[in-house]
Structure 1
């Protein structure tokens, strides 16, 4: 049986999406945790994907000049070898790096919407993947600016993005960590991770729209107006989050988020072990 989502739930979950999408803490994991712990049910993978359209709209607005420049350079470069500079290359890097998550997301779409949303798995991934972030910060040389980005870097970060199909990993955490391991400067890794997320998240959100209006099985069913409001809230808060994170990573380590991830993961594991919340 599907329960109707309340307006309070829609507003809170939209805010959670906006706050956590760009931080290396896993927005999909947080939406699942908040809906399960505080509302006693799962908002669903489709609701998550649709509200991500709000945060991706924030990316499009924030990086509008960069995106227009890259797209224009990519088209010019198709017809003139003399126009094939950095922006042209980045356009191709984003295209090639998006292919892996597109294929895996399609093949494993049923598992992503069901078994991958188990709270035992999400809490465990919050803790385990924290170690990856720590190692990336410790061993990443952080010397290369975005001007030195290569196709190998882009594809490697694209493969890392596939890990975000598991709630609890974090899309930005996975791609930024991969960038750090490759020797990219922290800000360069985070900036490219934002660009890389645009096609995959937008496609996922649009593909999930029909399911969001007609969810199957147990969970919370959001109405059209609730989805719209949650997405707008995610957009507004997400836009502010982008600006804050880019300033933060220019001077601070991603390790600041590790302690938080571990604490949340341990709390959720404790609630599950104590039978306070259900894993599914």
Structure 2
């Protein structure tokens, strides 16, 4: 891998982390079809940390207000109670994903990244996204998210351990199926991504430091990180504007198309 490849992978990560089309699936496919040695999971996590920076910058007011409420610095007790509740929901919904990462992370890295499995996940999760977007009642706003909603969305996030499912795609799909508006489903999905990405970053931090920042690949890690952060911020802005007047159907159709192209490419390689 060279600087150019690292930048491309960073841009892909930033774009696909927030669009419901699977960042890990795209990275796995990019690694496979580039034909070079696949980057380590530590490099992929470094790219995800770039998107974490984008999330923290874009949603800085949300995180700041929740932090102040948790610390008791918000003088409006009614508003503070709602903010503390939302912070609790986000923490609770993170637990299934953390457990999936701890117990299935190595298995996912070793067995779930083959293009055929990625293609199946892209198509299957795409169909669920399309159905949820069409059938969802879209009656509940962000402030109406309940404990059960948070738990179910957290379980959906755990399914994203399989490349091609999509963390944002699975959580948005679940939110829509539970009756959330598109804006509420996307906002909760993006806020929920912060602790799970942070946790993965802490877990892989020793490898990121030794293999990347202090090793010969430091320039590759930094290039991928900043490319992912810039791309991620731009695509957060895009999707937040896009869903105000449009559905998620185009993303489902994109997943179907990409899955078909992967199957054709694998067939031609035989």
Q: Does 1:225 align with 2:219?
A: yes
Distance 2:247 2:57 in 1: 26
Q: Does 1:32 align with 2:37?
A: no
Structure 1 residues 59 and 87: alpha-carbon distance in aligned structure 2, compared to 1, 3 A threshold:
same
Q: Which moved more, 1:38-47 or 1:157-166?
A: 38-47
Match 1:170 to one of 166, 169, 173:
166
Equivalent pair of 2:97/2:158 in contact (CA under 8 Å): yes
Aligned to 2:57: 61
Aligned to 1:250: 244
Distance 1:96 1:187 in 2: 21
Give a deviation string over 1:85-136, Cα, whole Å, max 9, x none: 3211100001111111111210112102110111111111111111100110
Match 1:122 to one of 104, 118, 123:
118
Q: Give the TM-score normalised by the residue count of structure 1.
A: 0.89
Q: Does 1:261 align with 2:255?
A: yes
Equivalent pair of 1:50/1:206 in contact (CA under 8 Å): no
User: Shift of the alpha carbon at 1:254?
Assistant: 0.8
Equivalent pair of 2:3/2:223 in contact (CA under 8 Å): no
Aligned to 1:218: none
User: Shift of the alpha carbon at 1:214?
Assistant: 6.3
Q: Does 1:156 align with 2:152?
A: yes
Distance 2:228 2:67 in 1: 26
Give a deviation string over 1:22-59, Cα, whole Å, max 9, x none: 00000111111112112444223222111100011100
SS in 1 for 2:18: coil
Aligned to 1:187: 183
Distance 2:35 2:60 in 1: 36
Q: Give the TM-score normalised by the residue count of structure 2.
A: 0.92
Distance 1:208 1:222 in 2: 18
Match 2:15 to one of 9, 19, 28:
19
Structure 1 residues 50 and 142: alpha-carbon distance in aligned structure 2, compared to 1, 3 A threshold:
same
SS in 1 for 2:138: coil
Runs of 4+ with >4 A deviation: 80-84, 212-215
Q: Does 1:209 align with 2:205?
A: yes
SS in 2 for 1:274: helix
Distance 2:84 2:152 in 1: 19
CA RMSD of superposed structures (Å)? 2.0
Mark the runs of 5 or more structure 2 residues left unpaired by the alignment. Answer: none
Mark the runs of 5 or more structure 1 residues left unpaired by the alignment. Answer: 216-220
Q: Which moved more, 1:174-183 or 1:202-211?
A: 202-211
Distance 1:100 1:151 in 2: 14
Distance 2:53 2:127 in 1: 31
